[in-house]
Amino acid sequence: MLILGAGEVHRVLDDAEAEVVAAVRRAYLLHERGRTALPHSVFLRFPDDPRNRIIGLPAYLGEDEPVAGIKWISSFPGNTARRLERASAAVILNSMATGRPEALLEGSVISARRTAASAALAAATLGSSVPETGVSLIGCGVIGFEILAYLRAVLPDLAAVTVFDLDATRAEAFAARCRARWPELKTEAADSAEEALAAHRLICLATTAAAPHLTTGACRPGTLVLHVSLRDLTPESILTAVNVVDDADHVCRESTSLHLAEQLRGNRDFIVTSIGAVLNAGEPFRRAEDRVTVFSPFGLGTLDLALADLVRRRAESLGLGTRVPDFLPTPADTAVG
C-alpha cells in the first residue's frame, strides 16, 4: 500500500492547474463516451444532526490504464468554529488486476482542486461574447479560493473579484487573502449577496447552504452562474435559466436545487445539456445573452479518480509517499493450520 499525505499531494498538485484541468476535461469526455462506471454517491447522515454528513463516491474510469476507487469525504460545517477545515477526505485506489487496494491518498486537497478545475473548465467552455473580466464569489471558504486560482489560470482577462459571505469578518479576511496572493486583482467585499450577484457576469456559489436561499433576479443578462454548492438557487430560478450539468441522474437527487426543480416541473426538460456533451461536440458554446446560464456540477467521483491517479503516478516518479508492505494479509497470514 502506498500512502500519500496532504503535503505530498500538495507537492504534486501545487502550480499544476493546466494538468489538473486537462485531467478533469479527459474524465468528462470519458464519461460522455460511456467509458466510466458511476454508481450513485452514498450519503451517510446522522439522526438529529442534519448539518453533518459523510459521502462515499465509488467510480471507475476507463482510460487506457483504467482506474477504480472511492472517495470518502465528510462535511462538518461546525469545524470552522474549531479552526478546522469543513471537509476532510481519503481516496482509495484499487488494482484493476486483483481488486486489492493499492494506494491511500489524502483526499480533501484532491477534492478541492477537482471542484475548482471543473468550475474553471465550465467558465472557459461555456463562453460569452465578451471576455470575462470579473467574478463574484459567494461563500468565502477553501473551495472559493481554489476556484479563483483556477479561474485565473483559464481566464487571462480576469481583473476583478467581488466576494460575499454571511459572515462579514470571514469575507474581509478572504478578500485580504486574495489581495495578498494576487495584488494585481481588484478585490472588494460586497455588503449583500444581491450586490455580489449584480457585480459581474461570472458568479460562483460555493456555500454550505442546505436549502435554496438565492434567486438570479439580481444577475445581469448573459451571466454564467457556477452553482458549485448545488442548493443555493431557488427551483424557480433554475427553471428560468439555461441549465448545464455534469450528469442529470446524479444532480437531480438529494434535494439539490435541480432536484427540487424537477419535482416542481415534473420532468428534466429544463436541463439543456451536459458539460461532457459540450466538450465532446468540439464546437464553441455561446451562452444566451438574454438569460442566465447555470452550471450545476454534482461532482462526479470519476474526477477524483482522475486526479488521484495523476497524483499517484507523479508521486511514484518522484519517490514520494510511504510504502506499507504488510498492509494487506499474505497467504501465510490467512492460511488455516
Q: Is the pLDDT of residue 83 over 90?
A: no
**Average model confidence (pLDDT) for the chain?**
95
Helix (H) or strand (E) holding 137: strand 134-138
CA distance 295 to 274: 9
CA distance 115 to 303: 8
Average pLDDT over residues 311-315: 97
**Looking at residue 337, what is its pLDDT?**
47
**Looking at residue 113, what is its pLDDT?**
97
Query: Would strands 49-61 and 67-75 be described as parallel, antiparallel, or unpaired?
Result: antiparallel
The DSSP string of 246-273 is S-HHHHS-TT-HHHHHHHHHSSSTTEEE
**Number of Cβ within a 10 Å radius of residue 224:** 26
**Looking at residue 336, what is its pLDDT?**
52
The percent of the chain in helix, strand and coil, each rounded to the nearest 5, is 40, 25, 35
Average pLDDT over residues 156-164: 97
**Looking at residue 334, what is its pLDDT?**
61
Average pLDDT over residues 158-177: 97
CA distance 143 to 177: 14
Average pLDDT over residues 63-86: 91
- pLDDT of 261-282, one tens digit each? 999 999 999 999 999 999 999 8
**Looking at residue 177, what is its pLDDT?**
97
CA distance 197 to 194: 5
- Of 202, 201, 210, nearest to 230 (Cα)? 210
- Of 150, 129, 134, 126, nearest to 23 (Cα)? 150
CA distance 200 to 222: 10
Percentage, residues of the chain above pLDDT 90: 89
- pLDDT of 282-299, one tens digit each? 888 999 999 999 999 999
**Looking at residue 62, what is its pLDDT?**
95
Indicate the pLDDT class of residue 129, thresholds 50, 70 and 90: confident
Average pLDDT over residues 235-262: 97
**Number of Cβ within a 10 Å radius of residue 158:** 22
**Looking at residue 296, what is its pLDDT?**
98
Average pLDDT over residues 57-80: 94
CA distance 149 to 178: 9
Average pLDDT over residues 183-197: 97
**Looking at residue 335, what is its pLDDT?**
59
Q: Is the pLDDT of residue 160 over 90?
A: yes
The number of residues in the chain equals 337
CB neighbour burial string for 37-74, b if at least 16 within 10 angstroms, e if fewer: ebeebeeeeeeeeeeebbbebbbbbbeeeebbbbbbbb
Which comes out higher in pLDDT, residue 128 or 151? 151
User: Taking every pair of C-alpha atoms in the chain, what is the biggest distance, in angstroms?
Assistant: 75
Judge contact between 185 and 158, C-beta under 8 A.
yes
Indicate the pLDDT class of residue 86, thresholds 50, 70 and 90: confident
7 φ/ψ angles, rounded to the nearest 5 degrees:
-60, -40
Q: Is the pLDDT of residue 247 over 90?
A: yes
CA distance 201 to 219: 7
